[in-house]
Amino acid sequence: MSQKPKSRGRPSSQVEREPGGGGEEAPSTSRGPGGAASQRRAQASPAPGPRSQKQLELKVAELVQFLLIKDQRKIPIRRTDILRHVVGDYKDVLPELLRRAAERLEYVFGYRLVELEPRSNTYILVNTLEPVEEDAEMRGDQGTPTTGLLMIVLGLIFMKGNSIKETEVWDFLRRLGVHPTKKHLIFGDPKKLITEDFVRQRYLDYRRIPHTDPVDYELQWGPRTNLETSKMKVLKFVAKIHHQDPKDWPAQYCEALADEEARARPQPAGPSPATAPAPTLSPVS
């Protein structure tokens, strides 16, 4: 990943320019005086005076709840939406609010607030607790069977040199009884799941390969995947399926090892609450 050395400023002027859509589905967590009506005041308000600790605490609480609710859908949370739906006229203290919310999320819930990519102004929550197999049982029917399919696709991409043609993915999945155009009992619409849902959640990148006729697309790992899991974890998952050892694929093993080492190195310090996150994408279920 290309990490630009430039420090992240506060790009407050860019924030409002983001393309519309998505905003209307966000919940309002602001209550208090004004309630929902105060949401849109965020942009134009003049710099207000200092707030009491109590006011800040309430804002942090709202922000934490907003992030928890939004994360349930696994769709990255945009800074614009945070500003519009929660922060309102507390915009000047946004970094402080984010810092305190990140601290609470990690201490109380075990979630790390991470910026998806440097300067992307989108955030996700990464679980610091290792998933265990019995968690799925504890979740009852609320588990996520789609994670298994995602892991298979991630494995496929990694084993094929970090990029794969969509047609190859379907050739492989067809052998497992998953067809792009046929409704699947568990995965519903597999084509939509892989090329839309996982893409929107940023587990996968999906782009058209230029100059192909008929048109073909390629799939790569998205930024969320690198935050929630690692090459080594995915390789181990693949090895387990094949009842083999990760070292049976020397090229991939070396690459995964190098990736582990790079992760272990301390990250360049930045104002973002993102630090080396623990992998959470579970190979189970």
Partner 1 sequence: MQGNTRRTGVMTDVHRRFLQLLMTHGVLEECDVKRLQKHCYKVHDCNATVEKLEDFINTINSVLESLYIEIKKGVTEDDGRPIYALVNLATTSVSKMASDFAENELDLFRKALELIIDSDTGFASSTNILNLVDQLKGKKMRKKEAEHVLQKFVQNKWLIEKEGEFTLHGRAILEMDQYIRETYPDAVKVCNICRSLLIQGQSCETCGIRMHLPCVAKYFQSSSEPHCPHCNDYWPHEVPEVFDPEKERETGMSRSNKRPSRSRQH
Residue closer to partner 1, measured from CB, 64 or 157: 64
Give min distance, CB of 159 to partner 1, in A: 31
* DSSP 8-state symbol, 274: -
Give min distance, CB of 49 to partner 1, in A: 23
Residue closer to partner 1, measured from CB, 103 or 168: 103
Residue closer to partner 1, measured from CB, 129 or 209: 129
Give min distance, CB of 109 to partner 1, in A: 6
Interior/surface letters 50-82, b for 16+ CB within 10 angstroms, e for the rest: eeeeeebebbbebbbebbeebbeebbbbbbbbb
Residue closer to partner 1, measured from CB, 62 or 197: 62
Alpha helices in the chain (DSSP H): 53-71, 79-82, 94-104, 133-138, 146-159, 166-175, 190-192, 198-200, 223-228, 231-241, 250-264
Instruction: Give me the residues that bind partner 1 (CB under 8 A), please.
Output: 24-31, 35, 57-58, 60-62, 64-65, 68-70, 72-73, 104, 107-111, 127-129, 132, 134-135, 138-140, 142
Taking each helix axis from N to C terminus, what angle separates 166-175 and 146-159, rounded to the nearest 10 degrees?
120
Minimal CA–CA distance to 274: which of 130, 107, 126? 126
Give min distance, CB of 134 to partner 1, in A: 6
Give min distance, CB of 234 to partner 1, in A: 23
Residue closer to partner 1, measured from CB, 144 or 275: 144
